Amino acid sequence: MLLKRLEKQVCYTKRKNRMDTDMNRAKRLSERIAEDILAMITVEKQFSPGDKLPNEIELAEILGVSRTTLREAIRILVTNGILEIQRGKGTFVKQNIDISKTAQSLQTLSQADMNVRDLYEIRLIFEPEAAYYATIRATDSELERIFSFGRQIEEKIKRGEDRTDVEQRFHKEIASATHNEFIDRLMPVIFQAIDQGVMLSKRIEQVEKDTIRDHQMIMEFMEARNPEGARSAMKIHILHAMKDMGME
């Protein structure tokens, strides 16, 4: 039963990956457009705090992009506290922003996008095998701790609460259950990936949806003591996160 579910999930992932390719290209373009708009504010001084931006049609034409891409770029800038949308009035540069700090903040966020890709590749190399050995070697009490943290992650996502700590504990318990001290020593690197991944996932709802579903599948295979299934489920989980956050 679980293997059939995994096969269906693999097929779903392949279809989703094909569909996501264009979406991820658009995402990268929208991030570049967000940087262009920020440059118009911070470098070119075309807009000052409190100024209204041109309407969507005009600004899309100025930047040479579709309105869909422009909307996503504006969403990124709104999320980062640079722009605000006033219903019935338009999009404005926020009044109380510190231009120098704002530019630095967005640059830091872009750097995090790049760094987290490397960290997630380490996760992809390491964590599926950790799940494999943990499924074989974990005691019943170790499995229960893993499942407990998995349930806490789901509850925090549903309540909109920060899940960084329990996310770390979930993956640390899996690593500890391998009973391999060298695997356990690699966890600080994994924590960096988890921390940045949680930060970036707050901007992308699909990441949280996939996290709940993928964790459930990992735990089901571990509970069934199916190491191959646990390995594949963990790999799918990390690939989902990489795809959803545009790390192709």
Residues 91 and 170 in one domain: no
Residues 142 and 87 in one domain: no
Residue 231 in any domain: the answer is yes
Residues 91 and 108 in one domain: no
As a whole number, mean pLDDT of residues 182-190 equals: 77
DSSP 54: P
Q: Count of domains in the chain?
A: 2
**Measured distance CA(134)–CA(221) in Å, rounded:** 11
- Residue 104 in contact with residue 42, Cβ under 8 Å? no
Residues 58 and 138 in one domain: no
Closest by CA position to 184, among listed 110, 117, 126: 126
Q: How much is the mean pLDDT over the chain?
A: 82
Does residue 106 or residue 21 have the better pLDDT? 106
Last residue of a domain, one of 97, 119, 142: 97
Residue 107 in any domain: the answer is yes
Q: Is 85 helix (H, G, I), strand (E, B) or coil?
A: strand
CATH of the domain at 171: 1.20.120.530
Beta bridge mates, 15? none
Residues 219 and 120 in one domain: yes
Residue 52 in any domain: the answer is yes
| Total H helices, total E strands in the chain | 10, 2
Residues 135 and 227 in one domain: yes
**Measured distance CA(241)–CA(239) in Å, rounded:** 5
Q: Give the domain extent around 110.
A: 102-244
Number of residues assigned to the chain:
248
Does residue 222 or residue 117 have the better pLDDT? 222
Residue 239 in any domain: the answer is yes
Q: pTM, whole model, 2 decimals?
A: 0.56
Range name among 64-68, 148-152, 205-209 with the lowest pLDDT average: 205-209
**Measured distance CA(32)–CA(78) in Å, rounded:** 15
Phi, psi of 83 (to 5 degrees): -115, 160
Tell me the HSE value of 232 on the side-chain side, using a 13 A CA sphere: 17
pLDDT per position as a tens digit, 5-52: 665 665 555 555 554 444 445 457 888 898 889 888 877 788 988 999
**Measured distance CA(62)–CA(36) in Å, rounded:** 11
